[in-house]
Amino acid sequence: MRKWHYPLLASFLSIAFLAGCGQAPQSQANTQGAGASQAGQQQAASGAITVYTALEDDQIKTYLESFKAKYPDVKVNIVRDSTGIITAKLLAEKDNPQADVVWGTAATSLLVLEQQGMLEGYSPKGIERVSPEFKDTKEPASWVGIDAWETAIAVNTKELEKRNLPIPRTYEDLIKPEYKGLIVMPNPASSGTGLLTVNGIMQLKGEQEGWAYLDKLHENMAIYTHSGSKPAKMAASGEYPIGISFGYRSITEKKKGAPVEVVFPTEGSGWDVEANGLIKKAQIKPEAKLFLDWAITDEAMKAYNQNYAIVSVKQDGAPLPEGYSVDPISQLVKLDLKKAAENRDKVLAEWEKRYATKSEPK
């Protein structure tokens, strides 16, 4: 028992020893890595890039098909999560960025990254074809949009019939007492759809009235969900008959055969642009730029257009995706994305303070 600390010491020493061993190969790996990426520059389109995105899971695979056909040797590692999570992750990794590219993530989030100096300006090939309201007007551009998405309400007609309730058409309808406990909407802290809906309401009603309205809406709210898709899916399954969601998801659920009617509120919809940007880091991979070039090509736009009525490069003659019955652009409220980005923190903090207790975990 007297000498027990020797072995303990020995074991700690051996940790230190292991530590020493570990260090050497790592620094070796680093130099190797640098060599590899130099080689990559000479012989482009064969590396791996990490892409952070908030696009929908069921879209990504189809979208990437044309990229993979064009650059079969580039490995694309996709990190997907809800807008708020992706944004938080990017901000947290500010000093040691893991992502090479941000793809299809809310412009209001990219503007926050820009304010933090985390984006490297890059105007992808063909940027001149992108409508000016969908891109950063600076040269080189910090972000370039691919499509816009907007608030839509998925309403389960069967469940409302059972309760003998009319379909809500406006924001004002939603705060009527008869809908109490029947509505779900996404938490704006985690969901881009949640945030753009709140932004839209603030824009329509002004700040003070906007919060007063949300207070009343809160009274009717069953739960706030983590993602923007879940309310539409819950409405589709009748779990909660009214889901504040976005156009694409609500329409998809209807197409799948759920008894859902997609309502674009008559006052107008809040909206945001899904945009791309290049992350500023010590070594910017050429493949990252190739990806950004590809992301606004016609092939890519055609794929986006299958799902979204509004894309950033106008597709002449392309039919509206099924389900969007009104002129999609006129449905959008007037919204200054830059101002929305500046207010993001403030809005989220206020929201958290007022309604956090009803939010779904996460």
Partner 1 sequence: MNGVVTAPKGKAGQKWLMVLVVAGLSASVLLPLIQLFSKAFYDKNGLFVGWDNFITYFSTPALSQSLHNTLYISSMTTAIAVSLAFLFAYALTRSGIRGKGFYRAVALLPLFAPTMMHGIALTYLFGNQGLVTTGIFGLLPFQWDVDLYGPVGIVLAEIVYVFPQAYLILAVSLAFADYQLYEAADTLGAGHVRKLMTVTLPGVKYGIVSACFVCFTLSFTDFGAPKVVGGQFSVLATDIYKQVIGQQNMTMGATVGLLLIIPALVAFIVDRIVERKQHAAVTAKSKEYRIKANGWRDLFYTVVCLGVSGFLLLLMATVVLASFIQVWPYNLDFSLVHYDFSNVAGEGIEPLWNSIVVAVLTAVIGTCVTFVAAYAIEKSQVWKGLRQAGYFLSILPLALPGLVIGLAYIFFFNNPANPLHGLYGSLWILILANVIHFFAVGFITATTALKKLDPEFEQAAESMGIGQMKLFWRVTVPVCMPAIIEMLVYFFINAMVTISAVVFLYAADFKLASVSIVNMDDAGDIAPAAAMSVLIVVLNIIARAGAEWISARLRKRTARTEQEKGQVA
Which residues, in sequence order, are CB contacts of 59 under 8 Å at separation 6+? 307
Backbone torsions φ then ψ of 230, nearest 5 degrees: -60, -40
- The least distance separating partner 1 from the CB of residue 225, rounded to whole angstroms, comes to 7
Taking 3-state DSSP, the helix, strand and coil percentages for the chain, each rounded to the nearest 5, stand at 50, 20, 30
Beta bridge partners of 225: 186
Please pick, from the candidates 238, 261, 286, 293, the single residue that binds partner 1 as defined by CB under 8 A. Answer: 238
- The least distance separating partner 1 from the CB of residue 351, rounded to whole angstroms, comes to 12
Interface segment toward partner 1; rule CB under 8 A; list 38-46, 118-126, 169-177, 252-260: 252-260
Is the CB of 241 or the CB of 265 nearer to partner 1? Answer: 241
Interface segment toward partner 1; rule CB under 8 A; list 192-200, 206-214, 219-227, 298-306: 219-227
Query: For residue 224, how many other CB atoms are within 10 A of its CB?
Result: 25
197 counts as binding partner 1 under rule CB under 8 A: no
Is the CB of 44 or the CB of 78 nearer to partner 1? Answer: 78
Number of residues that bind partner 1 (CB under 8 A): 67
358 counts as binding partner 1 under rule CB under 8 A: yes
Please pick, from the candidates 97, 205, 239, 286, the single residue that binds partner 1 as defined by CB under 8 A. Answer: 239
Hunting for tokens 């893991």 — which residue is that? 98
Site for partner 1 in 65-104 (CB under 8 A): 77-79, 82, 84-85, 88-89, 91-92, 96
- The least distance separating partner 1 from the CB of residue 55, rounded to whole angstroms, comes to 11
Site for partner 1 in 13-32 (CB under 8 A): 14-15, 18-23, 25-26, 29
Q: HSE, CB side, 13 Å, CA atoms: give it for residue 36.
A: 9
Q: Measure the CA angle with vertex 78, ends 81 and 28; round to 5°.
A: 120
- The least distance separating partner 1 from the CB of residue 316, rounded to whole angstroms, comes to 29
Cα distance between the two ends of the chain: 50
Hunting for tokens 């309730």 — which residue is that? 165
- 246/256 Cα distance (integer angstroms): 16
- The least distance separating partner 1 from the CB of residue 243, rounded to whole angstroms, comes to 9
Interface segment toward partner 1; rule CB under 8 A; list 12-20, 192-200, 274-282, 335-343: 12-20
Q: Is 355 annotated as a binding residue?
A: no
237 counts as binding partner 1 under rule CB under 8 A: yes
Q: Give which of 131, 151, 146, 137 is closest to 191, Cα–Cα.
A: 151
- Residue 44 is classified by DSSP as -
Which residues, in sequence order, are CB contacts of 67 under 8 Å at separation 6+? 74, 76, 291, 294, 300
Contact 121, 227 (CB under 8 A): no
Q: Which residues are annotated as a binding site for Fe cation?
A: 248
Q: Which residues are annotated as a binding site?
A: 248
Interacting residues with partner 1 (CB under 8 A): 1, 3-5, 7-8, 10-12, 14-15, 18-23, 25-26, 29, 50, 57-58, 61, 77-79, 82, 84-85, 88-89, 91-92, 96, 158, 189-190, 222-227, 229-234, 236-240, 256-259, 352, 356-362
